[in-house]
Structure 1
């Protein structure tokens, strides 16, 4: 169950506050070990592709093959995470990643790896990551209170980048001294700790009042929620732009090490290590920076700083200067991505947070997959240095994009369920799958209040459609113009129940304003009806089912 804010309300939030919660600390430490192994494997895969004489575009595709599955499968993974046990999904993903890593180790040891077989294995690693990501990120909200969530997200980024600061250099040493198969073997072993922690953790699960949604319906609901949430749309856009541009530095880093500063696998590992060290510093400073700067200002600085990193990497022949640039890029990377991630989590209720995170990952990592291919081709055609200068220009444009599409400020919205709704008693015997159900709500609005009423109903329409209502319309009585009727459909009675249970505390302001505007003798009148075709038997559940309350207009009684 999610940890309540009241448990830590008397404690001051800091960058390390989430470590007070034992399960978060245990999973974080186990994930840190797994991240070490994953980055060691990344070094081995990238250098193996380089050493077997692959072209620049195939080298860049190592990064693309890892991120492409995140774009393809994250929404499915998010839907599964929101409807089933997130811990079990994460555990299954870790076991799959362990099996893939063992297979890659064996193939490499026996000399069976070709460029396309290596891309296949890295694609499978990306598949495991795609199913692990939404489950892990949404589980954070069950490990720490909402007040600690931004710090926990930054700590997750810091954990990955602590591994990045040391793991790649260690990977370079392993590859140079023992061979790439050893790097893959270390990664396989690194999954065992996290598998053990997840297998032993038995969280208290809240009972589900409703059956899980079907996979297709759950995915559609996630897309609909994000599409009807403007703030989330801005985050997805900015994340995609950042992903397309910023991934170039990592995708082309083997070529930066080999061609621009004339180094080998150890140099490549040191560049990755510097990138990770900068990211750790960025994560530690993130809480203080968010207190001093607006979210948009912080993200613009991250775009501009990463542009400087790309430009220096493209122009510098000096290993020391390029290493410093990588540190700057790492700090910019974690500040931008942790800000995007925190905004998505704080803007999404628990019932859909896995899918919202999945769509964010699809946008950002889809941009990374596309960018890896684009910049690999650009390096092949124009050279690595010129490609990086183009990247710097694109990142400057990404910072300017904030003038037109600024990020929303992080606000602690109360996205807990409103909990004013209970399933009404109806006179008709219907099944959960019966439908379509038609709902009408009647308001009495004075002429002087019509403009204000229409404005609040625009927000009402967004909330209804976001939570699953279909065919929403607003009608005005031609004989009595003070009467307005809100009308919408739900495909089934079960969908109608889900719709009402998704209303949050933050949505209550809409209902409060509508109650103020309604001038009828009683609360707005609600009618619930099920569609019925002529010729149906009279025993069929097609009669009207009525009641007189609505969860967004009645503060005390459920509809």
Structure 2
């Protein structure tokens, strides 16, 4: 079977395999730390809310800082960002172990440490996810994403049990120390990886502008907005099965920790199966069919888990849930990466992550309230019904197919020679492009211009407008603004090869002898400021 058809093909890439194994080790350490922190809080505080805040303090940074981390992932060397994040996590975890060992830990300092660990994780995640596309080829990206998801679910299946054993035998301080050591594997793997990034030709965007650019790109990308909504909806419903599983074990199955661990293991086995079969399933089904089947399968798993009173029915339901979990979430992640150019992929992934985690957080709260007011069975059945209804979302918001778009830079733009001595930050810049369109081609021209407008605004243009000359109706003028000259250059460099179709189509519709004329102008006040631009001095070479 060709590599592109194999779910395990990414493992032939030594860099990916090394970092994947290191991430498994790091995830194990993180889960062991989670168990130790939760148990430690029960030892130093009798407040149930403080115990609940341990998990919240660890996950809140992902919601709060994910977009900032995505902007950092796009603006800086991703390998260095990950190295910094891993070193930060190692230091914080080591300090947590020391504080615990010497009896210096208080409930609030424990929350502070777990919050800082969450911040490090939030910083690392977008850079790592975006780097997968830098490490493996486009054909292997879906399988690589599935393998990442599989690895996380493997560790989640057995990590808490191992963490509980370590805490019971050696104490929370040891668990925290093991977590600190686990980051060394990732640091080592990252030091061995020597990526070659394209040389930057433009100054780095400041963080605020980068975040705004990411939000704008997502808002002007309908396919990506569909993925965000579907990810949020799936996370909202699917989280019921994991958040209520302890109650299911206790109330429905009359089981204990062993049964709980067994069901988590069943979920992990399903996740492994979903990841391994991912490539073969993609060959046979479209993206929408995979998502619809995952929604339907997870709805069945939720219903069975809710009504079952037998471990031997609940366990297969968890296997099904694990497979559907990996198939859907890995597909969402893959579509985001394949539908986004590299300059903004970190921000796109961070927004997807925020939407999905937001759905999970909100769902866990809602299903918990429903279980508290009724029962876990009622909550799980309600989640199953809602998940089943989610299959119908595909009729209105179908998933895009795996993008065949070429999102590499178009590289057609050459910065024009200017007669004014402007600086990169000079502006605002006004651009006008004149087209000569035959009357019979106007409907097609307007149709193409709708997509042209979306691309312009998506890539940073402002105040886009299309005007028609009243005296010469064949002349149409496209106009837009950018805040500065460097923003204008950056806007043009963001154009992809997939966008070239629109430009070429407009060129075909233009009936003038010469290409469409481009006017580049700078807005000026009637009273020029002290640093206004001037004509470049003429140099006589004779």
TM-score between both structures, scaled by the size of structure 1: 0.89
Structure 2 distance, partners of 1:289, 1:382, is 38
Q: CA 1:308–1:188 in structure 2 vs 1: closer, same or farther (change >3 Å)?
A: farther
What's the offset of the Cα at 1:537?
A: 6.8
Residue in 2 that maps onto 1:435: 427
Structure 2 distance, partners of 1:268, 1:118, is 26
The alignment status of 1:25 with 2:17, answered yes or no, reads yes
Structure 2 distance, partners of 1:362, 1:30, is 24
CA deviations on 1:270-301 (whole Å, 9 max, x unpaired) are 32222112111110011111111111111111
CA deviations on 1:480-532 (whole Å, 9 max, x unpaired) are 11100000001000000000000000000001110110011110000000001
**Which of 402, 405, 416 in structure 1 is aligned with 2:397?**
405
Residue in 2 that maps onto 1:273: 265
Q: CA 1:247–1:348 in structure 2 vs 1: closer, same or farther (change >3 Å)?
A: same
Residue in 2 that maps onto 1:233: 225
Question: Conserved in 2, the CA contact under 8 Å of 1:176 and 1:265?
Answer: no
Structure 1 distance, partners of 2:170, 2:302, is 32
Residue in 2 that maps onto 1:550: none
Q: CA 1:118–1:396 in structure 2 vs 1: closer, same or farther (change >3 Å)?
A: farther
SS at match of 2:478: strand
What's the offset of the Cα at 1:60?
A: 6.3
Q: CA 1:538–1:249 in structure 2 vs 1: closer, same or farther (change >3 Å)?
A: closer
What's the offset of the Cα at 1:18?
A: 1.4
What's the offset of the Cα at 1:365?
A: 0.9
Residue in 1 that maps onto 2:190: 198
Q: CA 1:508–1:73 in structure 2 vs 1: closer, same or farther (change >3 Å)?
A: same
Moved more, 194-203 or 169-178: 169-178
SS at match of 2:395: coil
SS at match of 1:403: helix
Residue in 2 that maps onto 1:171: 163
Structure 1 distance, partners of 2:262, 2:36, is 14
**Which of 483, 505, 511 in structure 1 is aligned with 2:475?**
483
SS at match of 2:465: strand
**Which of 368, 378, 385 in structure 1 is aligned with 2:360?**
368
What's the offset of the Cα at 1:171?
A: 3.1
1:476-555 to structure 2, matched below 5 A, reads 476-536=468-528, 540-541=532-533
Q: CA 1:297–1:132 in structure 2 vs 1: closer, same or farther (change >3 Å)?
A: same
**Which of 124, 138, 144 in structure 1 is aligned with 2:130?**
138
Structure 2 distance, partners of 1:63, 1:181, is 18
Q: CA 1:227–1:543 in structure 2 vs 1: closer, same or farther (change >3 Å)?
A: farther
Question: Conserved in 1, the CA contact under 8 Å of 2:5 and 2:279?
Answer: no
Residue in 2 that maps onto 1:332: 324
What's the offset of the Cα at 1:46?
A: 5.3
Moved more, 370-379 or 427-436: 370-379
Structure 2: tracts of 5 or more residues without a match? 537-542
1:51-450 to structure 2, matched below 5 A, reads 63-106=55-98, 120-450=112-442
Structure 1 distance, partners of 2:22, 2:224, is 31
Question: Conserved in 2, the CA contact under 8 Å of 1:63 and 1:251?
Answer: no
Residue in 2 that maps onto 1:548: none
What's the offset of the Cα at 1:117?
A: 5.9
Question: Conserved in 1, the CA contact under 8 Å of 2:154 and 2:268?
Answer: yes
Structure 2 distance, partners of 1:253, 1:511, is 54
CA deviations on 1:224-249 (whole Å, 9 max, x unpaired) are 00100000000000101111121222
What's the offset of the Cα at 1:196?
A: 1.7
Structure 1 distance, partners of 2:317, 2:449, is 51
Question: Conserved in 2, the CA contact under 8 Å of 1:168 and 1:272?
Answer: no
TM-score between both structures, scaled by the size of structure 2: 0.92
How big is the alpha-carbon RMSD for the aligned residues of Structure 1 and Structure 2? 2.5
Structure 1 distance, partners of 2:27, 2:531, is 61
Structure 1 distance, partners of 2:168, 2:317, is 24
Residue in 1 that maps onto 2:448: 456
Structure 1 distance, partners of 2:325, 2:498, is 32
Structure 2 distance, partners of 1:261, 1:539, is 76
- How many residues end up aligned between the 2 structures? 534
What's the offset of the Cα at 1:369?
A: 1.9
Structure 1 distance, partners of 2:474, 2:308, is 72
Q: CA 1:61–1:374 in structure 2 vs 1: closer, same or farther (change >3 Å)?
A: farther
What's the offset of the Cα at 1:162?
A: 2.6
Moved more, 103-112 or 32-41: 103-112
What's the offset of the Cα at 1:381?
A: 2.6
Structure 1: tracts of 5 or more residues without a match? 1-9, 545-559
Residue in 2 that maps onto 1:551: none
SS at match of 1:409: coil
CA deviations on 1:329-365 (whole Å, 9 max, x unpaired) are 1111111110000000000001000111111111111
Q: CA 1:325–1:101 in structure 2 vs 1: closer, same or farther (change >3 Å)?
A: farther
Structure 1 distance, partners of 2:526, 2:372, is 68
Moved more, 235-244 or 272-281: 272-281
Q: CA 1:109–1:245 in structure 2 vs 1: closer, same or farther (change >3 Å)?
A: farther
